[in-house]
Chains A and B, each alone.
Chain A
Amino acid sequence: DAKTTQPTSMDCAEGRAANLPCNHSTISGNEYVYWYRQIHSQGPQYIIHGLKNNETNEMASLIITEDRKSSTLILPHATLRDTAVYYCIVPVPLQAGTALIFGKGTTLSVSS
């Protein structure tokens, strides 16, 4: 199972880009990288996922290195509401389907 490593915490000024790194050096060729975030007292929120190409949606961009051993989640213009714990996850294959194994994630603090 591919493990992920993230910094414990990061700070970002409101309006600036937040770049959250993740290492997943043991990822295999067909495993996706997923990003979720959890705001206090709420359930985790799906942000974005990718395999090897860079991805962008209305919430964020995901940059995956060519060797796929690391990735970066980019929130282009962080707001106070982006303060949350961000999880980088490589789903674990099960007998059927997959399961999300959450680590400790990165606590992002956005300040004005």
Chain B
Amino acid sequence: KAGVTQTPRYLIKTRGQQVTLSCSPISGHRSVSWYQQTPGQGLQFLFEYFSETQRNKGNFPGRFSGRQFSNSRSEMNVSTLELGDSALYLCASSLQGYQPQHFGDGTRLSIL
């Protein structure tokens, strides 16, 4: 069974730009969660989507948004990029939004 796939693996952007990251969950999983990992703050919960609806949201500004498609694939968008947005962005999927969640290897975003 294929795992969670995130694309691209690496991305370099400049301040003020916007970026879209993609996540394909494990087949049959309907819940997709996004996390941000930085050396200073560790792993932090961004939001969770289930059946194309955002069900839960962490404490991040509105520049961070996402969506989920009917096939459960999800995208995350960050607008007006700031230097502090440099991080590893991780996607995790689960059957219903309860555990266990299975993670992809992330997209490493660097802001110049």
Residue ranges of A at the interface with B (Cβ–Cβ < 8 Å) = 32, 34, 41-46, 49, 91, 94-104
Contacts and interface: CB of A to CB of B under 8 A. Distances in A.
A94 B56 contact: yes
A80 B31 CA distance: 33
Interface residues of B, number: 26
Ranked nearest first, the 4 interchain pairs of A and B with the lowest CB-CB distance are A97-B97, A43-B103, A102-B43, A94-B56
A103 B42 contact: yes
B99 A96 contact: no
Contacts of A43: 4, 90, 92, 103-106
B43 A44 contact: yes
Interface of B is mostly: strand
B103 A99 contact: no
Interface of B: 4, 31, 33, 35, 42-45, 48, 50, 55-56, 58, 90, 92, 96-106
A27 B101 CA distance: 20
B45 A99 contact: yes
B4 to A, nearest CB: 8
Contact of A96 (B44, B56, B105): B56
6 contacts: A44-B43, A46-B101, A99-B48, A100-B35, A100-B92, A102-B43
